[in-house]
Amino acid sequence: MSFSPDNLIPFGEQTATGDLVDVGEVEKGERCNCICPSCKTPLIARKGGIKEWHFAHKSHARRIKKETEKPCDMSFAVSVRLMAKQLFECGAHMLLPKYEKVFSLPIPSFLPLRKDEETKTYIICDENMMGFSSVEIEQRRMGSVFDLILNVDGWEILVYITYQGRAFPKVDVQAGSRVGLIEINAMEIKSAFKNITSGQYKKALSNFLAQSYVGKKWRYHPRERRAEEDFNKYAIQRLEILKNEGKHNERTMGAASLIHPTHPSNQSGQAHATAASRSPKNKEEIEQLKKAALDGALNEYIVMLGSDKASEGAKHLSRERIMGGFNNFSENSLHKCLSCEFEWRGKTNSCQQCGSYIHSRSVI
């Protein structure tokens, strides 16, 4: 026997105590004296010899069935979430999943339609089974109520159990906060209930929390900011190396290339080439060429895009590279937003006027 249908309920709420109980702990049928943790409808304990044991709504009354049918679509997930909280109150342990974060750096290429990138993977934390000095249930942090607050050595791990209609909250963790965020997908816990023959779902859930990483993922770990800072330093150094190499080969971030620059002054719409395969003579000329590159008028410089929405079109693909949001350009880097036409200098490619990098174009 295996536990598979979404509408089967492994845990019921005892009417006398309010505690959650396993279907294997109570008497059969209506004598279980339990209600649904989600909609509070009376339950019956089905403990037959063919199907897996489970609770079911007592739905002999047409009125009750109609009123509780929709609210109990997630009865399985709700009962699992509540039982998980009860287990932690009683001293449960949890296996924390491994957390890796991959950062990518777009590498400009001289070849048309070619988009290279370098990636660097950081192991933020390894898989680790932990006990906790204290556990708080349903406490508010950063404007949202989390199911569990697990305290360990002065750190807080905030756990939120998700399922359909209950998404992970949007929170903003301040730098320096001693806080980690973990999501547990209740529906993926169902794998822990396979081959349970006598309704021992509480034990199966406890073992799952302590021994399995399935359905668990880090949403934020305090050490990932350190990894991000390290990668940003690496990216600046790497881009500078590529810029210097560009003086001698096809990969360049700003030095003059073999393609003749074109200028936007031709009113017919066709840019004309100059006989300038040389480097600009002065700062003023360099600035003019960079601004022209932002306007998509010449191929003299690689233009870094916030997204494909900032591209000037197919004919420019050989000199445009999607970078995403980035906050470690040089102070003198030029940027332009195609959405609001705002231009600025600085380290970030997020538009200073509309606050988004999606339509930004950048030249270092």
- The full set of domain ranges for the chain reads 11-75, 94-113+124-222, 227-363
Q: How many of the other CB atoms lie within 10 Å of CB of 118?
A: 13
Q: What is the pLDDT of residues 206-231, one digit of tens each?
A: 888 888 888 899 999 988 888 888 98
Helices (H) and strands (E) in the chain, counts: 5, 21
Roughly how many angstroms between the first and final C-alpha of the chain, as a whole number?
63
Task: Indicate the SS3 state at residue 217.
Answer: strand
> In this structure, are residues 360 and 350 in contact, taking their beta carbons and an 8 Å threshold?
yes
pLDDT of residue 145: 93
pLDDT of residue 314: 64
- Can you tell me the mean pLDDT for 320-341? 86
- Using a pLDDT cut of 70, give the percent of the chain over it: 76
More confident residue, 163 or 282: 163
pLDDT of residue 179: 92
Sign of CA dihedral 317, 320, 321, 323: negative
Q: What is the pLDDT of residues 3-54, one digit of tens each?
A: 444 457 888 888 888 889 888 888 888 888 888 888 888 888 888 776 778 8
pLDDT above 70 for 251: no
- Using a pLDDT cut of 90, give the percent of the chain over it: 13
- Can you tell me the mean pLDDT for 247-268? 35
- Can you tell me the mean pLDDT for 155-172? 90
Q: What is the pLDDT of residues 227-239, one digit of tens each?
A: 888 988 888 887 7
Which of 88-92, 124-128, 165-169 is predicted least confidently? 88-92
pLDDT above 70 for 255: no
Instruction: Please provide the size of the chain in residues.
Output: 364
Q: How far apart are CA 27 and CA 24, in angstroms?
A: 8
